[in-house]
Amino acid sequence: MPTRYASLDVLRGMAILGTLATNIWIFTDPEGLVGYIQGVGRASGAWAPVEAVLQQLAQGKFLGLLTIMFGIGLAIQQRSALRRGRAWPGRYAMRGVLLFIDGLVNYFLFTEFDVLMGYAVTGIIVAYLLSMRIRRQHVALIVAIVVHLALLSLVTLALASAPVGQGAPLEPNPYEGSSFWGLVLFRAENLALFRAEVIFILPMSIALFLVGAALLRAGVLEPRGAALRRRLMIVGFGVALPLDLLVGMFGGDAGVVLGRYGIAPVVSLGLLAWVAGLYADGRRPGFWGRAVTPVGRMALSCYVFQNMVAGAVCYGWGLGLTQRLDSETVVPVTVLLYLSICVMMIAVSRAWLRRFDRGPLEWLWHRGYAVLGGESSRHDRGELAGARRGMG
């Protein structure tokens, strides 16, 4: 029987709830993503440094971790396919198309900073790269890193030389006065602007997918990877984390971008190594591990649902919480909202998995793949059992 890594679900659960730790500040900004980028809804007084620290601690780390976990999941799916004597990547492109559709729905209905569309494209590319020799994968990894660093350098230099200022306010503000459908139309009208990040980070995503696959081969989740995990934690926590906090908090917009897309992914490797080391010897998850494991098993559903809940609470088409916040209340309310959604996701996912084998969106996604692929239900169940060891 293939090895079941307890750390996978814990890491995925951490990554899903961790991405919300970044995105929740966007939801509670009065002008949404546009205002967040322009610094419209920032705290004042004693809350300002608290906000800065909390945002920087989450900024980019869990995005990087989630991206690496997608790469690990993809490599595990490849192992599963080859173990069954099936060609790789086979019909994996169909999986990518379905994930892209999930992301498209998530983007238009719930959030303009969806990552699923980018992961779908990246997954299709990397699935074919994983079918190549290891040497060629290493070359692709180096090329992706070089291209990403070149793009990151250009953007960072442009931001560092740009005049400091705040952009014009949104008039009208769709996050405040529009209906649910009005916000959907706003995202459609600004599709190119809101999807620019996905294009910009494509080389980084390819690199992190390949890094995840390489780490799996190197045994990062197994007892034999102890030395590798120690090196990753030294670099991630001892070098990258202090540098990330310094650059992100005192480097202005350029520092935030450099930290999020350049340094934070290295911190993510430290997080991966730390959690993997807790369970590499077969230890079962403790209290906190058991808490986030259901979220990891329902990663796709929880990612979409947490965005849906946050939007319903914050935006004008829902409860309109954000419009009642000011610079003195935004931090405590944002933190409370984040913790409340986390508790909700943990409770709902745990209750759901007591009755069902997988989350609702995971079930819908796999059924769609089975129908389009023309596979029998028995074969589909076997494929799902293997795929569950990956992202899904």
In the predicted structure, residue 2 carries a pLDDT above the cut 60: no
What is the arithmetic mean of pLDDT over 150-176? 84
Q: Which of 56, 91, 88, 66 is nearest to 15 (CA)?
A: 66
Q: Which of 40, 128, 118, 39 is nearest to 78 (CA)?
A: 128
Rounded Cα gap, residues 315 and 178, in angstroms: 9
Interior/surface letters 221-242, b for 16+ CB within 10 angstroms, e for the rest = bbeebeebbeebbebbbeebbe
What is the arithmetic mean of pLDDT over 33-44? 83
CB 118 within 8 A of CB 208: no
Domain extent, residue 76, equals: 6-161+169-387
216-255 pLDDT, tens digit each = 999 999 999 999 999 999 999 999 999 999 999 999 889 9
Choose between 147 and 374: higher pLDDT.
147
In the predicted structure, residue 372 carries a pLDDT above the cut 60: yes
Position 1 in a domain: no
Position 56 in a domain: yes
pLDDT confidence band for 163 (50 / 70 / 90): confident
pLDDT of residue 388: 42
pLDDT of residue 118: 96
In the predicted structure, residue 102 carries a pLDDT above the cut 60: yes
pLDDT of residue 248: 93
pLDDT confidence band for 3 (50 / 70 / 90): low
pLDDT confidence band for 43 (50 / 70 / 90): confident
Q: What does residue 122 show for φ and ψ, rounded to 5 degrees? A: -60, -40
Position 74 in a domain: yes
Position 317 in a domain: yes
Dihedral angle over CA of 185, 191, 193, 199, nearest 10: 160
Q: Which of 306, 244, 312, 231 is nearest to 276 (CA)?
A: 231
- What mean pLDDT is reported for the chain? 90
- Which range among 91-95, 166-170, 246-250, 341-345 shows the weakest confidence by mean pLDDT? 166-170
Position 392 in a domain: no
Position 115 in a domain: yes
Number of folded domains that form the chain: 1
What is each CA distance from 49 to 134, 186, 243, 245, in whole angstroms? 46, 32, 18, 12
113-154 pLDDT, tens digit each = 999 999 999 999 999 999 999 999 999 999 999 999 999 999
305-333 pLDDT, tens digit each = 999 999 999 999 999 999 999 989 999 99
